[in-house]
Amino acid sequence: MRIVLATPLYPPEIAPVATYAKELARRLSLAGHKINVLAYTHLPEQLQNVNVTVVDKHKPRLVRLHAFRKALIQSARDTDAIIVINGISTELPLILTPLHKKTIFCIADKKASSRLGIIDWLATIRTDAVIKSTPEQKPEILPLETKPVDAINTWNASWNEHLEKIETTLEYDN
């Protein structure tokens, strides 16, 4: 399946949403999907079998939003589904753009979701499904300490459950 992953942040940004977006792209790619990440970033980290379309985050806000919306429309033409990670910079283009594709709205940033109110609500109306749960944070592996095997297994299990939820949603009604 060809999937566009629209995200407000992507590595080298270090926010949890950025690391979530990268891991989601990586795991969907490993599951055999063709992934195009659409992100506000400058020099994105590259992943094998993942294409990254960049919208320059250093441009003025309205220019960025217009560029993101335009890139979203372009990307939507050649895709089967769209996954939008919450954030004002992805939600406004989503609200203003008729995509006519299966669309999932992932609420990965709980703080942003609580601040956006009506915009978040409008974004949920424009999508086919909303996923409010996210996998656990990756356990920290510290030097000179034993590897947290149980924590890593729990983290992988939470990701597998999350991916299953996304893939089930994408396949529903297709």
User: Into how many domains does the chain fold?
Assistant: 1
Q: In CATH, what number is assigned to the domain containing residue 105?
A: 3.40.50.2000
User: Which domain does 160 fall in, by range?
Assistant: 2-171
Rg of the chain over Cα atoms, rounded to whole angstroms, equals 16
**Which residues are CB-contacts of 173 (< 8 A; sequence separation ≥ 6)?**
102, 128
pLDDT digits (tens, 9 = 90+) for 103-131: 999 988 877 766 767 888 888 888 999 99
β-bridge mates for residue 19, sequence order? none
141: phi then psi, degrees, rounded to nearest 5? -105, 115
Per-chain mean pLDDT for the chain? 89
Name the strands in the sheet holding 102-106, side by side, starting at the edge strand that comes first in the sequence.
50-56, 34-41, 2-7, 81-85, 102-106, 129-131
pLDDT digits (tens, 9 = 90+) for 45-57: 888 889 999 999 8
| Residue found under tokens 């950025």 | 18
| Residue 47 DSSP symbol | B
Overall average pLDDT of the 79-102 stretch? 90
The whole-angstrom separation of Cα 171 and Cα 22 is: 22
